[in-house]
Amino acid sequence: MIYCICKKITESRKIEKLESKFWLRNYILQTVIAVLAIYLGGEYMVHGIIELGTVFNIDQTALTVILVPIATVIPESIVGLIF
């Protein structure tokens, strides 16, 4: 009887170890995708501000001071409103 209990415990631990390895890969993948998305979003935003400044003949620094804080606060505010 003790053998059956010990066997059951070790089987559940093996399953937990397998699940933790799978989730570790998932976390690494999520981190890589998030870093890539942040980088590409930042590049897109910088190039957009540069183009907007050249089209409207406005200083890029002024656009950066005005638009970047607004663009970063809006997603945080939406998450706050949803949850």
What are 20-79's pLDDT values in tens digits?
555 556 788 888 888 999 999 999 999 999 999 999 998 888 888 988 889 889 888 888
How far apart are alpha carbons 26 and 24 in whole angstroms? Answer: 5
Q: Which residue has the higher pLDDT, 61 or 10?
A: 61
- Residues 6+ away with beta carbon under 8 Å from 71: 45
Residue 65: give the domain boundaries. 2-82
Task: Please state, in angstroms and as integers, the Cα–Cα distance from residue 51 to each residue in 39, 40, 48, 73, following that order.
Answer: 18, 16, 5, 22
Q: How many domains does the chain have?
A: 1
pTM as predicted: 0.57
- Residues 6+ away with beta carbon under 8 Å from 53: 59, 60, 63
